[in-house]
Chain A
Amino acid sequence: MIDSATKRYGRLTALLDFSAALRPGEIVGVLGPNGAGKSTLMRLLCGLATATSGRITVLGRPMPRGRCAVLAQVGAMIEAPAFYEHLTARQNLRMLAGYYGHVHAERPQQVMDLVELTGREDDRVGAYSVGMKRRLGLAAALLPSPRFLILDEPASGLDPEALVMVEAILRREAGERGVCVLLSSHLLAEVARICDRALILRQGSLVADVPVAPADSGWVAIAVDRPDAALAVVRSLRSAPEAKTEGGLLLVRVADTDPADLVSALVAGGHRVSRVAPHAPSIEERYFELLARCASSGGDAS
């Protein structure tokens, strides 16, 4: 639970009046361009930074005051995972495991198996590739069997197989154990695949808190021959619905118009309609649309 959190670094506002609530078992993606405040938000949530104003409560305890109790149940990977490069992956995880107290001796091996580092546990981390270090970072985050996972760019540098593996782990953690997962990503397709909800940030402000699943947008996509001519037909209707062409389709907002009337008008105008379907913009489309709208309105989130 984040209530009106603001974080300033001198004159720079990294996060402005940010509020959001996260629920157990949901996977929430944090999206935004570079410098939008994604990493700042994650640092605030795991107590690496203190909010300039506002209130942050994690697992029922205030942050950063309840840091130690909270972090016993939180797994976090903030920015590029950093380990002691001259030590092995196993040694690194054992060191971290010791800080939790409740982590079983076999847990480091379990999490390394989970992220498919089996066979490389006793290699020095310095010899690891970027992707392997990411996987080790994820293993470290999973070490305490967390109730809340905070992952900053978990997919960055991963090969497609590892990406699938990470997505499966996150789905399983959220679905079977009810873990709340907050992840930031620049990969919109990844967010679309695994997240339930997306928080879109721009210049430190939350511009949207939207479900990732395609929602009823009130638009229909009509596959029609000569879409530009069909657009003129739709605009000449008495109800004059909002319409545009996009990707060879005719898109019409059907708030006050019956789709059946639209089809009749188009057929009467000599067009051949091959398909009519609800038009649900993807998270990618909504993301760019929101950012474009913000940019044109001078950064006004709403």
Chain B
Amino acid sequence: MIHAVGTELRKLYSRWATLSPYPLIALTLGLVAWNVSKLGGPTGLAPEPGIVTVFPLLMWWLLGAFAIVAAAGSLGGEFELGTARTTLVTPVSRGRFLVAKFVACVVHVLCLVVFTAGLSQLVRWALFDDLRFGLLAGTEGAYDLLRPEQHPVEVLTGAAAWGRVGLCYGYAAFFLVALAALSLLVAALMRHTVGAISVTAAIAVLEWVVSSVEPLAHLRPFMLVDQARGWLWVASGIVPVERILAGLASMAAYAVACLLFAWVSLARRDVHA
């Protein structure tokens, strides 16, 4: 399994599509930092509309999109190029093949989250000379900037605050991993990269729409995209533990179910030219 995961990571990181998120994240954060710097710091920003509020919002979706693209490409690309055929005539089982791809995607997602977290903290430090909780890296950053009176920027002073930062990014990583599992399932069914990206993105948007409709609120616990709200709770300091745990459980169930169905699809369907 170690070889299989190593091989998948090597394949993943030899593609430009896997490496391109890093400069894009850096560019996004750089743009945010440039705007913050130009407008004079967080307190003077809110509720200014414009690029500062748009980019942190995009950041959340950007990471999700990167996770979807990486997962869809890692499996769908194998079938499109025919390399799945070359690999699957070796003694690697379909299950091991899939799990290795999933683990490689998890590693990739964690790298993206760590990179984003590290860089956003660096930017924060460079701009304001202290480490604040705003992060500038996600939806909660936008909330900070839009409504600082509701989500006051905290100075990271204690272990609890750092723990919350960790929980915040851990929750985000969990969400991205579940999204990658969903993308792997769609790629296993469609066996086509662009198709898998499009369908996964469409599912995410559809879930977002459904979870926004108040009469359908009872469906929210089953909506993967809706679990992203848990990040906001953590970031805003409310931390309703039971809701966060329910969100984590929902995302884990999504990941397990998606992998299971993807495995069934891989195991039962023939590999064509």
**With an 8 A cutoff between CB atoms, is B243 at the interface?**
no
- Give A43 to B82 CA distance when docked, in angstroms: 13
Q: Mark A87-99, 1 if CB is under 8 A from B, else 0.
A: 1000000011011
Return chain B residues, CB-CB under 8 Å to A68: 91-93
Residues from 95 to 133 in A contacting B, C-beta threshold 8 Å: 95-96, 98-101
Cα separation A249 to B189 with both chains bound (whole Å): 61
- A288 CB–B CB distance under 8 Å: no
In B51-97, the 8 Å CB interface with A consists of 81-83, 85-93
Within 8 A of A (CB), among B10-59: 10-11, 14-15
Q: How far is the CA of A67 from the CA of B267 in the complex (A)?
A: 11
* CB of A140 closer than 8 Å to a CB of B: yes
Q: Which residues of A contact B86 (CB under 8 A)?
A: 81-83, 96, 140
**A67–B85 CB distance below 8 A:** no
CB distance from B7 to the nearest CB of A (A): 5
The listed residue (B7, B15, B82, B268) touching A95 by CB distance below 8 A is B7
Is the beta-carbon distance between A72 and B91 smaller than 8 angstroms?
Answer: yes
B residues 220-273 near A (Cβ < 8 Å) are: 268, 270-271, 273
Which of A29-37, A46-54, A158-166, A254-262 lies on the face that meets chain B?
A46-54
Are A78 and B270 neighbours in the complex by a CB distance under 8 Å?
no
Are A78 and B93 in contact, CB atoms less than 8 angstroms apart? no
A: interface residue count bin: 20 to 34
- Main secondary structure on chain B at its contact with chain A? helix
CA distance A171 to B89 in the complex (A): 23
Asked if B3 is at the interface of the complex by the 8 Å CB criterion, the answer is yes
Once the chains are docked, how many angstroms separate the CA of A82 from the CA of B14? 17
B271 touches A43 (CB 8 A): yes
Q: Which residue of B lies closest to A97 (CB)?
A: B90
Cβ-defined contact, A82 with B82, below 8 A: yes
Contacts known (A48-B85, A83-B83, A86-B15); A67 close to B93, Cβ less than 8 A:
yes
B-side contacts of A145, CB under 8 Å? none
Number of A-B residue pairs having CB atoms within 8 Å of each other in the complex: 72
| Least Cβ–Cβ distance between B171 and chain A, in angstroms | 34
Task: Please tell me if B190 contacts chain A, counting CB pairs below 8 Å.
Answer: no
A80 located at the interface, meaning its Cβ lies under 8 Å from any Cβ of chain B in the complex = yes
Q: Given known contacts A48-B270, A84-B14, is B85 in contact with A69 (CB within 8 Å)?
A: no
How far does the Cβ of B82 sit from chain A's closest Cβ, in whole Å?
Answer: 3
In the bound complex, CA of A81 to CA of B82 (Å): 8
CB-nearest residue of chain A relative to B11?
A: A84
Best-buried of A47, A50, A78, A82 by chain B (most CB within 10 Å): A82
Report chain A residues within 8 Å CB of B7. 95, 98-99
* Beta-carbon contact of A86 and B270 below 8 Å: no
Contact A98 B14, CB 8 Å, known A49-B271, A82-B82, A82-B83:
no
Interface set of A (CB-CB < 8 Å, partner B): 39, 43, 46-50, 67-69, 71-72, 74, 76, 78-87, 95-96, 98-101, 140, 144
Nearest 7 interchain pairs by C-beta: A82-B82, A99-B90, A49-B270, A98-B3, A76-B89, A72-B91, A48-B271
> Which positions in B face A, CB cutoff 8 Å?
3-4, 6-7, 10-11, 14-15, 81-83, 85-93, 268, 270-271, 273
Known: A49-B270, A96-B86. 7 other contacts (CB 8 A): A47-B89, A48-B270, A48-B271, A69-B91, A81-B86, A84-B81, A98-B3
The 23 listed contacts between A and B (C-beta, < 8 Å) are A43-B270, A43-B271, A48-B88, A48-B270, A48-B271, A49-B271, A50-B270, A68-B93, A69-B91, A71-B89, A72-B91, A79-B85, A80-B273, A82-B83, A82-B86, A86-B14, A95-B11, A96-B87, A98-B7, A99-B7, A99-B90, A99-B91, A101-B91
